Amino acid sequence: MVTKLELIVESQALLGECPCWHQEQQLLYWVDGDKKQLHVYQAETKIDRTIQLKQSIGCVVPRKSGGVVLALEKGFAALDLETKKLTPLVNPESHPPSNRFNDGKCDPTGRFLAGTMAIKNQTQGVGALYSLDTNLTVRQLWSNLTVSNGIGWSPDYSTMYLIDSPTKKVFAFDYDLITGDISNRRVAVTIPDTDGYPDGMTTDTEGMIWVGLWAGYKVTRWNPNTGELLQTIPVPAPNVTSCTFGGANMNELYITTARTDMDRAQLDYYPKAGSVFRLVTDVIGMKNFEFGG
């Protein structure tokens, strides 16, 4: 059983992205990449705080020692949420300068995995997936990506999922939780041509994956073992960018959307595009982890 989609943050985000639920603090981080803004939504007070930065933001994760870590246009950086001080950590892609970081997530050991893409024109094969370890060293895990996007894991963390949006595929890899290595890439899900492009994603404790669809007007739930479509959640916005589970019982699906690439007719017809939505589901989602460094 799924209840009605609820608007929780009415926003005109150009590129609302990367929702990340902090279970211990019961808050939702999300970003507007194009406006260079980090948002912090307190579920109890329903207050959405905005922190303005000077670089485009790909994604955000909480940091175990306090604050958050961001994957930005120019690499990884730590942000103090009180002073708003930004501290660069490492930039593995000073070349090419035309790239930026996009989506990412932490694994249970506290590593921060995030991928890159071309800032303009989605140049084929220039992106890569990186892993920022807790000792602040970084290494490349995969290359030849075009738009490195949503990341998630199976319930036992032996499988990692990664989206390369233009391919319309969700890839699966064997994941070694001890070393952080990935191997044995294969296709888990192929999005139909009529359903837009896979963007961000999350996973649930039943091992299923939830994918936001850019130009698809929905979130879809899939069985990555069979490639079967299990559920469709319509969203009142053309560009559905990502989703994550949260709430006290980890059964609430938070969904981000974007306004970029919409014409005036679409903006008039979908005035809530760019907002954040929530849906109470009958499944339990996988936890988002903190960066351990």
Could you tell me the CA-to-CA distances from 224 to 24, 116, 256, 284, 293 in Å, in that order?
29, 24, 22, 17, 31
Could you tell me the CA-to-CA distances from 253 to 12, 59, 120, 246, 286 in Å, in that order?
20, 18, 30, 6, 11
Closest of 283, 201, 293, 287 to residue 3, by C-alpha: 283
Terminal-residue alpha carbon distance, the chain: 39
The single residue of 80, 199, 261, 282 carrying the catalytic annotation is 199
Within 10 angstroms of residue 169's Cβ, the number of other Cβ atoms is: 17
Half-sphere exposure (CA, 13 Å, Cβ side) for 60? 30
Phi-psi region of 274 (alpha: psi -120 to 50; beta: other; left: phi over 0): left
Residue 157 neighbours by CB under 8 Å, 6+ apart: 107, 108, 175, 177
199 is catalytic: yes
Catalytically active residues are 199
